[in-house]
Chain A
């Protein structure tokens, strides 16, 4: 309290009102901020509708909470049968906790690989069913589990491919080098949408009549192919940054090419490229929403479809704000994690 009376005015004077120009600018920004926050407060709380149905919502100018309440299961789980909703919930919890466990650098050993793969295995087992669980085919999968699946598999699988491509591009074998460069530049030269489109519209026409490959699998492969090219360039950046002396030192120790890479170069390179990797991962997480163009019901598409219910038409702002918050939470968590890794590896202090 004392601080507020004695120090706060001084702080204000020093930081906000030290010159006439600054005073005017500060006043302008403060009033703008106040007005905006008043508006947001009014919209989300004061004139918001907390109970009722679509018609009560239409009469008000505020946020329509009943819409979110009504559509929450559909936005999050899509078409997954409602009586089995515990399965995608548990699947997501298991998958996320396996990520959570694996994320600590001190746990990076062979067990973490097992944890991660069992996380994925359980995720698919719970989503799809089989054995004693009722089978739910993947045309019913949707919402958050689908987005998590597409992006995490896309990111994780693209990593080894990226490493291979990067090594091939930097290696001495002419053929591999050309192939790798062609691949990377071709994929980076076209937008993700066109690759998804190829996989969904063109590809089935090339197959012999009567054979169809699962739509979700096609999209997932397309995503992996796409991210791999970007990961390759990220990792190549890391490889370039390793001093030549490191290669020479390991050569003089008599290590083979694979040993050099496995024990000397890649571990160092990966540390360097953590920030751009996470950058790509965040981009990827959001890019998976492009699968709506090929009519897969990821988180964004379930949101869009929830707006098409004739009983609840016209609440697009509510729906998009809600889904934006979900995306924000995931992307923010990823970027925080990257910050921490950087600190632990001492990248910032170098």
Chain B
């Protein structure tokens, strides 16, 4: 009797277990499996977070969707696997995910020693300072002698100390055990300045009662290029992920977005014709459908649209383009030509 019960319980338990395998070529495996597994964060406002309906949304998520469109012509063929900071590299190495799109900073040691390859950054983040508007401070250079709230034992704390020392300014750090405590202290006036990554500061600011009373100073004092990463050793798949980033950027540079893309169908510009697959080339050379870029732009949009939709001025985060603007507009986004 007990054994029967055990059998039934075990049987029901087996419903839980599934195993996935990948063999050598990531692209083939994804095609065979019928969906892309995309590693995302467990929740970062504007980048990847679940909405009230349980759908993922954010900048990192839209990149996964763009990849899904490139591969399947459909943005819903993605399985999101949420990962915390410790799990993310293991998940990629062990084949649990195909691509890591999880606000991960590209650094030398990560690129060389964790068995993964970073593609091109989709967001250039960096440490910034936030002050009360009433203080009248316009630049981080005016912060000498200011008390700065920050989190203990982080790179943020070190970057800040370096910056102040390099600019011969006096620093009065006020360190806290957790990020939330630091933010609370800043709001209550315990310190004049709050420092963190610019995107993080924007998220914190949107929680305040009067977000418009605070400004984020324009200086970015550290480099945090957040780039999607893939497993080491599969160059074909690496190319697809990298050129998907470029496709989003290049589309914005050419002025093509999801709304006006149909008007470009008849364009005589050879760059546009090549880019949208009118004259063949972009698909064949990378092993995808000739219209893969056309599909991405019409279904997900170009980089600018993705940015504005998730973190831009119309969203609660109200982030400025800054470094994440096209190279023609003073930013860092620069795509090699699609030839």
A and B interact physically: yes
Q: How many A-B residue pairs have CB under 8 A?
A: 157
Q: Are A205 and B90 in contact (CB under 8 A)?
A: yes
> Which positions 174-223 of chain A face chain B at CB distance < 8 Å?
197, 200-201, 204-205, 207, 209-217, 220
The answer to whether residues A201 and B86 also contact, given A121-B12, A213-B17 and a CB cut-off of 8 A, is yes
A110 CB within 8 Å of chain B:
yes
Note all chain A residues with C-beta closer than 8 A to B13.
124, 153, 217, 220
Chain B positions within 8 Å of A309 at CB level: 45, 49-52
Q: Judge if A103 is at the interface, Cβ distance under 8 Å.
A: no
State the CA gap A313–B200 with chains docked (Å).
12
B16 at the interface (CB under 8 A from A): yes
Contacts of A212 in B (CB 8 A): 19-21, 94-96
In contact, A301 and B1 (Cβ under 8 angstroms): no
Contact B50 A113 (CB under 8 A): no
- Structural contact, A70 and B19, CB atoms closer than 8 A: no
Residues from chain A with Cβ under 8 Å of B19 in the complex: 211-214
Contact between B54 and A74, CB atoms less than 8 A apart: yes
Which of the candidate stretches A43-51, A289-297, A335-343 sits at the interface with the other chain?
A: A289-297
A111 to chain B, nearest CB (A): 10
Number of interface residues of B (CB under 8 A): 55
With A74-B52, A124-B16, A309-B49: A205-B87 Cβ-Cβ less than 8 Å: no
Residues of B within 8 A of A78 (CB): 54
Assess whether B45 is in contact with A310, with CB atoms less than 8 Å apart.
yes
Question: 1/0 per residue B186-210: CB within 8 Å of A?
Answer: 0000000000000000010011110
* Segment 33-78 of B: residues with Cβ below 8 Å from A: 42-46, 49-54, 58
B43 adjacent to A308 (CB under 8 Å): yes
Interface residues on A, range: 35 or more
In the complex with contacts A210-B23, A310-B315, A117-B5 CB distance below 8 A: yes
Q: Are A204 and B45 in contact (CB under 8 A)?
A: no
Instruction: Verify if B176 is at the interface (C-beta below 8 Å from A).
Output: no
State whether the Cβ of A240 lies closer than 8 Å to any Cβ in chain B: no
- Taking a contact as CB atoms closer than 8 A, the residue among A74, A197, A213, A297 that contacts B82 in the complex is A297
B15 touches A125 (CB 8 A): yes
Measured CA separation A212–B94 after assembly (Å): 7
A123 contacts across to B, CB distance below 8 A: 12
With contacts A117-B9, A204-B90 taken as known, whether A308 is within 8 angstroms of B18 at the C-beta atoms is: no
Closest to B45 in A: A310
- Which among A207, A294, A314 has the greatest number of chain B C-beta atoms within 10 A? A314
Closest to A292 in B: B42
Q: How far is the CB of A279 from chain B (nearest CB, A)?
A: 24
Question: Are A77's CB and B49's CB within 8 A?
Answer: no
Q: For residue B49, which residues in chain A have a CB less than 8 angstroms away from its CB?
A: 305, 308-310
- A286 interface residue (CB < 8 Å to B): no
Q: Is the CB of A128 within 8 A of B15?
A: yes
A107-160: which have CB < 8 Å to B? Answer: 110, 113-114, 116-118, 120-121, 123-125, 128, 130, 137-140, 153, 156-157, 160
Kindly provide the distance from the CB of B213 to the nearest chain A CB, expressed in whole angstroms. 13
* Cα distance A307–B51 in the bound complex, in angstroms: 10
Give the complex CA separation of A118 and B310 in angstroms: 45
- Taking a contact as CB atoms closer than 8 A, the residue among A118, A125, A157, A310 that contacts B203 in the complex is A310
Q: Out of B20, B53, B58, name the residue touching A82 (CB < 8 Å).
A: B53
B185 within 8 A of A: no
CB atoms of A294 and B84 under 8 A apart: yes
Q: How far is the CA of A216 from the CA of B42 in the complex (A)?
A: 16
Q: What A residues does B311 contact at CB under 8 A?
A: 310
- Knowing A113-B1, A117-B9, A212-B94, the reply to whether A310 touches B206 (Cβ < 8 A) is yes
Q: Counting CB contacts under 8 A, is B8 at the interface? A: yes
CB distance from A341 to the nearest CB of B (A): 21
Interface residues of A in 300-321 (CB under 8 A from B): 301, 304-314
Residues 75-119 of B at the A interface (beta carbon under 8 Å)? 79-84, 86-87, 90-91, 93-96
The reply on B11 being an interface residue by CB < 8 A is yes
Say yes or no: B22 contacts A82, CB within 8 Å. no
Verify if A243 is at the interface (C-beta below 8 Å from B): no
Are A117 and B42 also in contact (CB < 8 A) when A309-B50, A314-B207 are?
no
13 examples of A-B residue contacts, CB within 8 angstroms: A82-B54, A117-B5, A123-B12, A153-B13, A160-B6, A200-B87, A207-B94, A209-B95, A210-B21, A216-B16, A220-B13, A310-B317, A313-B203
**Given A116-B5, A295-B82: 6 more A-B contacts, CB < 8 Å:** A201-B86, A201-B87, A205-B93, A293-B84, A308-B49, A309-B52
